[in-house]
Structure formats: C-alpha cells, structure tokens
C-alpha cells in the first residue's frame, strides 16, 4: 500500500523534542510488525533543524472522515497492536505499576496533601484489587482518539505515537477512545458513562485475550489504573493538580466516586 505524502513535524521546545524522538523509535519498531503494515506511518527522515530542534518526516494519508464510535475495526487494530508486544505479568511487576509509583513520588513535590492522599489511596486500591491477578500488559498507542485515526475502508491508519508505551493495560486505549473525546468536549463523564465504557472494554478484552480471566473486579481495577494514569500524566506535565483541566476534572470526580462503580 503506497501512502500519499510526507508530513513534517518540527519540535517547538525540549518536551516536543522528546515526543518526536519517542515517536520515531516506536514507528521504527512497528515497521517490523507485519499485521500492522499500512496502518502505521513510516519514518522517512529525521534529524535536527538549524535552530537545534528535532524534526521528523513520516508517511501519511490525506485527511479522511473520522468516526466517533468504537467499531470492530478499532478493536481489530488494538488487538493486533497488543499482540505485537505483550508480556504476561503480575501487576506489581509491570512497567505501568512502576511508572505509577514513580509518578506518585514526583507528585509529592507539588500536590496538596489532600489531593496526594486521594491519589495514593487510589493506587492502593489498584494494587489490592490486582494482587493475585496475572494478565497481558501490552504496547499502547497512548492517545488512541478519533483525531489520530484515519478510516481507510475496513482498515485504520493511526498517527501520533509520541505517547506510546509498553507494559500498558490492554484496556487503556479502549477506555481512552471512549472517554477522552467526551471530556475534551465538555460532555459529562458520569458514572453511567464510565460503566458503559467498562463494559465495552471488557468485551474487547475477552475477545482479544481469551486466555486470561476478566472478572468484573479486574476490569474495575484496570479502569482505575487508566484514570489514575491519565490524571498523573497530565498533572506531571503541568506540575500541578489542575482540576479546571477538563480531563483532570472529569477523571478526578470518578476517582472520588470509585466506591460506587468499582465491582467488589
């Protein structure tokens, strides 16, 4: 499949330099995944511009229509992505758990005491609920959302891999797709909305990874992992718990109400 043109990305600051470097690294790794051929950009060129900032040239399709629904095509892509690089681990041995611990330690430097207490209690609930569970931890695109996806018939073309990470929960990208667009568009992210997203994520997990056990408490705990991870990621970037941020504000309320939606 031949792509239509090259897109040039140029970093504006040091943080963007790091994102482009991460994106290039993941795209080069994904080139070797046959099941994703034609669905992920290829690196055409990368380097440093005259002003010292990193640039990246990737293959792209022209803009196509996007869908807000999570379809079978989305599920198929994420299943292939997850199978491309996954490890069966206990939660406390996975990279996501280690990242959460490190992020909580960093949040201790700027978060108010009551806010930090909620974050730490939430992490404890994740750890407790997943104490005896072993499951797949996979490669996540990191910002799996409609604006980063082009529809090519029955196939997707997924862009923007700067937030990709390994050892992620297999539910992260599904939950992110279903919830982030509501939060960023100031649409209510209520407990019923979250429960519906959890059901869709559970269906995906059963279909994509039938070898593992997906009891409701596991789905609930991994949903909590997703919410906590997004709040920490956005807060660390700003060095503050900014509840006026539409995503942090919406997800924070769900963390506070976790006893009402987490299955026992």
In a domain, 65, yes or no: no
Please provide residue 58's backbone torsions phi and psi, each rounded to the nearest 5 degrees.
Answer: -125, 155
Name residue, tokens 């931890």.
Answer: 137
pTM of the model: 0.94
d(CA 162, CA 159): 9
105: domain CATH number? 3.90.1200.10
CA torsion sign, 127 to 128 to 129 to 131?
positive
pLDDT score of 5: 66
| Burial profile 103-117: b = 16 or more Cβ within 10 angstroms, e = fewer | bbeebeeebeeebbe
Q: Please indicate, yes or no, whether residues 237 and 257 belong to a single structural domain of this protein.
A: yes
Q: Please indicate, yes or no, whether residues 53 and 146 belong to a single structural domain of this protein.
A: no
* 3-state DSSP assignment of residue 224: helix
pLDDT score of 155: 86
d(CA 182, CA 163): 20
pLDDT score of 73: 94
Q: Please indicate, yes or no, whether residues 181 and 56 belong to a single structural domain of this protein.
A: no
pLDDT score of 6: 78
Q: Please indicate, yes or no, whether residues 104 and 194 belong to a single structural domain of this protein.
A: yes
Domain tally, the chain: 2
Distances, alpha carbon 151 to alpha carbons 6, 53, 75, 141, in Å: 18, 32, 13, 17
pLDDT score of 99: 97
Q: Which tokens sit at 32?
A: 């070797």
In a domain, 66, yes or no: no
pLDDT score of 118: 98
The pLDDT averaged over each successive group of 10 residues in the chain (264 residues) is 70 92 96 94 93 92 76 96 94 96 98 97 97 95 95 88 96 98 94 98 98 96 98 97 97 97 90
pLDDT score of 64: 65
- φ/ψ region of 142 (left if φ > 0, alpha if ψ in -120 to 50, else beta) reads left
Burial class, 96, CB count within 10 angstroms (exposed 0-12 / middle 13-18 / buried 19+): buried
In a domain, 67, yes or no: no
Q: Contact 139/166 with Cβ under 8 angstroms? A: yes
- Per the structure, the complete domain to which residue 138 belongs is given by 72-261
Q: Please indicate, yes or no, whether residues 42 and 122 belong to a single structural domain of this protein.
A: no
């Amino acid at each position: 499949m031949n792509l239509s043109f090259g897109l040039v990305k140029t970093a504006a600051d040091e943080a963007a330099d790091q994102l482009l470097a991460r994106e290039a690294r993941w795209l080069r790794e994904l080139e070797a995944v046959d099941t994703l051929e034609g669905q992920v950009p290829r690196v055409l060129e990368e380097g440093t511009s005259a002003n010292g900032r990193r640039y990246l040239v990737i293959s792209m399709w022209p803009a196509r229509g996007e869908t807000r629904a999570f379809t079978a095509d989305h599920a198929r892509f994420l299943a292939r992505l997850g199978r491309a690089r996954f490890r069966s681990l206990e939660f406390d041995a996975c990279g996501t758990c280690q990242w959460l611990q490190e992020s909580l330690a960093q949040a201790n430097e700027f978060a108010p005491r009551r806010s930090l207490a909620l974050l730490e209690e939430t992490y404890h609930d994740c750890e407790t609920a997943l104490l005896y569970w072993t499951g797949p931890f996979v490669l996540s695109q990191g910002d799996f959302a409609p604006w980063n996806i082009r529809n090519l018939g029955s196939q997707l073309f997924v862009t923007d891999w700067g937030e990709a990470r390994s050892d992620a929960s297999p539910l992260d990208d599904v939950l992110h797709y279903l919830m982030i667009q509501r939060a960023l568009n100031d649409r209510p992210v209520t407990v019923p909305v979250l429960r519906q997203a959890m059901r869709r994520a559970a269906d995906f997990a059963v279909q994509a990874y039938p070898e593992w056990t997906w009891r409701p408490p596991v789905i609930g705990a991994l949903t909590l992992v997703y919410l906590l991870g997004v709040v920490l990621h956005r807060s660390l970037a700003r060095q503050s718990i900014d509840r006026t941020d539409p995503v942090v504000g919406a997800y924070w309320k769900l963390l506070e109400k976790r006893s009402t939606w987490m299955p026992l």
